[in-house]
Chain A
Amino acid sequence: MMWEIEKATLITNNERVYEKYKDTLTVIFEESYEQVLIRTRDMVYDRHILLTHPQASSLKPNQTPYRSVIVYPQGTDDNTDAILLIEKCLETYRRWQEIAPTPEKYDDKVAYDFQTIDLSVIDNIIPRIV
């Protein structure tokens, strides 16, 4: 199937992703990594599929403060896989918070670099949604 970018929804807590793509598609800004996952879960349960993996990049869920995920209306697709995946990601996120919580505050430069990595993931995906 082909996708239409205007039907996709990007959920992010990364200001740089929000600013860059807010005029390209629907972008929902959330306050935290966990809130991005929760909002994603809610949308998946409300007839959406995942277009991107909610644990993109190999930074563990307590090693980056930023997360961006793209969802898409389910249409006639079965979305059971998406439900299982986002639930698994939430579970994994919480397990890593138990191992060691994500630092509350990062140095500005480091935070900017984390944003860069997260933005790079989305930059690579947007041209694919056509």
Chain B
Amino acid sequence: MKLELGKIEIKDIQFADSTYIADHVLYVNTAEVESLVLEDDKLLTCHLDVARPGDATRITPVKDVIEPRVKVSGGGEIFPGVIGKVSPTVGEGRTHALDGCCVVTVGRIVGFQEGVIDMSGPAADYCPFSKTVNLCVVIEPKEGLETHVYERAGRLAGLKVAAYLGEAAKNLEPDTLEVYETKPIFQQAAEYPELPKVGYVHMLQSQGLLHDTYYYGVDAKQFVPTFMYPTEIMDGAIVSGNCVAPCDKVTTYHHLHNPVIDECYKRHGKEINFMGVILTNENVFLADKERHSDMVAKLAEWMELDGVLITEEGYGNPDTDLMMNCRKVERKGTKVVLITDEFPGKDGKSQSLADTCDEATALASCGQGNMTLKFPAMEKVIGMQDYIESQIGGWAGCINEDGSFEAEIQIIIASTIANGFNTLAARGY
């Protein structure tokens, strides 16, 4: 499967009478976007705002962040099974991406979670979306909706807007073009027989409301581990449906920009033979954990992998899946490196994962979420600050009258994201 990913650099977003891209500026017809969002009768209001890097602006509570993309050729539609048609599969041909801009969905879903994006100030250093131009889609649900109904409406709103904006790039000439290819298993193994065969075990959140992820539209807790071409993921075959623990949330943007896939492709044909992705989940039912980690190990063996990288999403329950995958894959003779973030307490000295195993001997850390930070007051808030004290990372009394507050960096979207997208790390000396 071969994908050409064309990037159109976006430097600013402006509101206009129609939606188009010119001179690296994305012009957005607000009326069209708002009516697209409000097609869903679960949503009462929608308004748009733009946040730019360097602005004295805070966005909260954030639900998801999505990069607009469009399928140009090769079959399939972006976000298949959710926004696009479920068949054919994606990952082939040409895709265009609006590089440097994001759709950010904003609005309260439950009273204790969803994170913060600061466009400037000390917290901006910890968030990748402080460096992108963001079209914020602020939504409000109708009264009395069940939480899961509103969650779904919010999730689809962001994806619909991203797919709509992506269409503006369909007939443009991209500024850069990157080519990614993974061949069918026997061909791929034969292509670089001298290089170690490396795979990526990609664990998806799948624990329940606000802890879900979707694969071609399927709730991830309902599938068994499977193989994926990495380019399918670049076309939106995986979308986020979770927003608990902002710091290590894998947004839909991060699925499109998975750093493990990115790095493996950079080394593909040079240091490693990147064989593809083993997709699995993090179910609460312990029998699923045993069964699915067995299947992950079986797939790793069947692919004759010499090594795998494993990433998780979340803390606690997923740590058990992480360790089961590690132990069983290692016992099949495949070397494992784990990638995750840590929660070792404010002094950084407590055990940082909720589970461990003897086979877990190599781990790359993506930083620790218990560190605290002072967030200055901002001139503008997109969304609302009413819930800072009860958002993850905040505490009773943490916010001041002027809107400044202190919180753990857990409250910042993707600050310690457990796939290594950010620059936080732990180093041994």
- Interface presence of A57 (CB below 8 A): yes
- Interface presence of A107 (CB below 8 A): yes
Q: How far is the CB of A4 from chain B (nearest CB, A)?
A: 14
Name B's A-contacting residues (CB within 8 A). Answer: 110-112, 147-148, 205, 207-211, 221, 244-245, 248, 284-289, 313-318, 320, 343, 345-346, 350-351, 354-355, 370, 390, 392, 395-396
> Given A58-B244, A124-B284 in contact, is the A110-B207 Cβ separation under 8 Å?
no
> Given A53-B320, A113-B111 in contact, is the A89-B354 Cβ separation under 8 Å?
yes
The distance in angstroms between the C-alpha atoms of A129 and B313, with both chains bound, is: 26
Residue of chain A at shortest CB distance from B313: A58
Q: Are A53 and B284 in contact (CB under 8 A)?
A: yes
Q: How far is the CB of A109 from chain B (nearest CB, A)?
A: 5
- Interface presence of A59 (CB below 8 A): yes
The one of B148, B318, B354, B390 that contacts A92, using a Cβ cutoff of 8 Å = B354
Q: Are A125 and B284 in contact (CB under 8 A)?
A: yes
Q: Are A99 and B110 in contact (CB under 8 A)?
A: no
Q: Are A52 and B209 in contact (CB under 8 A)?
A: no
- Interface presence of A25 (CB below 8 A): no
Which residues does chain A contribute within 8 Å of B208, judged by CB atoms?
56-57, 117, 120-121, 123-124
Q: Which 8 A-B pairs have the closest CB atoms?
A: A58-B314, A120-B209, A55-B316, A113-B110, A110-B111, A120-B208, A121-B208, A56-B284
The distance in angstroms between the C-alpha atoms of A110 and B347, with both chains bound, is: 29
Q: Are A57 and B345 in contact (CB under 8 A)?
A: no
Which residues does chain A contribute within 8 Å of B110, judged by CB atoms?
110, 113-114, 116-117
Q: Are B244 and A52 in contact (CB under 8 A)?
A: no
Which residues does chain A contribute within 8 Å of B345, judged by CB atoms?
95, 98-99
The distance in angstroms between the C-alpha atoms of A60 and B247, with both chains bound, is: 12
- Interface presence of A128 (CB below 8 A): yes
Q: How far is the CB of A122 from chain B (nearest CB, A)?
A: 8
Which residues does chain B contribute within 8 Å of A57, judged by CB atoms?
207-208, 211, 244, 284, 316-317
Can you list, as one digit per residue, whether each of A39-63 has a CB less than 8 Å from chain B (1) or not (0)?
A: 0000000000111110111111101
Q: How far is the CB of B163 from chain A (nearest CB, A)?
A: 27
Q: Are B286 and A58 in contact (CB under 8 A)?
A: no
Q: Are B316 and A92 in contact (CB under 8 A)?
A: yes
Which residues does chain B contribute within 8 Å of A103, judged by CB atoms?
395-396
The distance in angstroms between the C-alpha atoms of A55 and B317, with both chains bound, is: 5
Can you list, as one digit per residue, whether each of A81-114 has a CB less than 8 Å from chain B (1) or not (0)?
A: 0000100110010010011100100110110011
Q: Are A95 and B285 in contact (CB under 8 A)?
A: no
The distance in angstroms between the C-alpha atoms of A56 and B276, with both chains bound, is: 29
10 A-B pairs whose Cβ atoms sit less than 8 Å apart in the complex: A53-B286, A53-B317, A55-B316, A95-B350, A106-B112, A113-B112, A114-B110, A114-B112, A121-B208, A121-B209
Which residues does chain B contribute within 8 Å of A106, judged by CB atoms?
112, 390
Residue of chain B at shortest CB distance from A129: B285
Which residues does chain B contribute within 8 Å of A88, judged by CB atoms?
354-355
> Given A116-B209, A125-B284 in contact, is the A58-B320 Cβ separation under 8 Å?
no
- B110, B207, B320, B346: residue with the most chain A Cβ atoms closer than 10 Å: B207
Q: Are B286 and A51 in contact (CB under 8 A)?
A: yes
Which residues does chain A contribute within 8 Å of B390, judged by CB atoms?
106-107, 110
The distance in angstroms between the C-alpha atoms of A52 and B110, with both chains bound, is: 24
Q: Are B351 and A58 in contact (CB under 8 A)?
A: no
Which residues does chain B contribute within 8 Å of A109, judged by CB atoms?
111
Inter-chain pairs besides A49-B286, A64-B112, A125-B284, 12 sampled, C-beta below 8 Å: A51-B287, A55-B316, A55-B320, A58-B316, A60-B245, A92-B316, A95-B345, A99-B370, A110-B110, A114-B110, A117-B210, A120-B210
Q: How far is the CB of B206 from chain A (nearest CB, A)?
A: 9
The distance in angstroms between the C-alpha atoms of A53 and B211, with both chains bound, is: 15
Which residues does chain B contribute within 8 Å of A100, judged by CB atoms?
395
Q: Are B289 and A53 in contact (CB under 8 A)?
A: yes
The distance in angstroms between the C-alpha atoms of A100 and B147, with both chains bound, is: 28
Which residues does chain A contribute within 8 Å of B395, judged by CB atoms?
100, 103
The distance in angstroms between the C-alpha atoms of A121 and B112, with both chains bound, is: 17
Q: Are A113 and B320 in contact (CB under 8 A)?
A: no
The distance in angstroms between the C-alpha atoms of A117 and B210, with both chains bound, is: 7
Residue of chain A at shortest CB distance from B356: A88
Which residues does chain A contribute within 8 Å of B148, judged by CB atoms?
120
Residue of chain A at shortest CB distance from B111: A110
Which residues does chain A contribute within 8 Å of B211, judged by CB atoms?
57-58, 117, 121
The distance in angstroms between the C-alpha atoms of A125 and B283, with both chains bound, is: 9
Which residues does chain A contribute within 8 Å of B314, judged by CB atoms?
58
Q: How far is the CB of B110 from chain A (nearest CB, A)?
A: 4
> Given A58-B315, A124-B284, A125-B284 in contact, is the A107-B111 Cβ separation under 8 Å?
yes
